[in-house]
Amino acid sequence: MKIMNIAGVLLHINPSRESEIKNALLQMAGTEIHAIQPNGRWVVTVEGDDNRQVADIVMNLHRLAGVLSAAMIYQHSEEVEEDTP
């Protein structure tokens, strides 16, 4: 069995840095952008192999230049069957 870990994160960014933040997230493994508002509020999901990896990714979001805040608003873990070829 494998553990699936997913977190919902609300980002508040400086809208003038939107392009560079979007590029950084697209390069960051385990992140997906779901919604972008013109006022700088974004909805992002983070997936990882364990809770520590998810927490590390969320902390990396905090450290991106132009990110004003990153709030984890949801977290879920469960066992899932591993994909078989």
What pTM did the predictor assign? 0.84
User: Which pLDDT does position 23 carry in this prediction?
Assistant: 96
Q: Where are the domains of the chain?
A: 14-77
pLDDT tops 80 at residue 82: no
Lowest-confidence range among 6-10, 15-19, 60-64, 77-81?
77-81
Residue pLDDT, tens place only, 17-72: 999 999 999 999 999 999 999 999 999 999 998 888 999 999 999 999 999 999 99
Q: Which fold has domain 14-77?
A: Alpha-Beta Plaits (3.30.70)
Q: Is the distance from CB of 58 to CB of 9 less than 8 angstroms?
A: yes
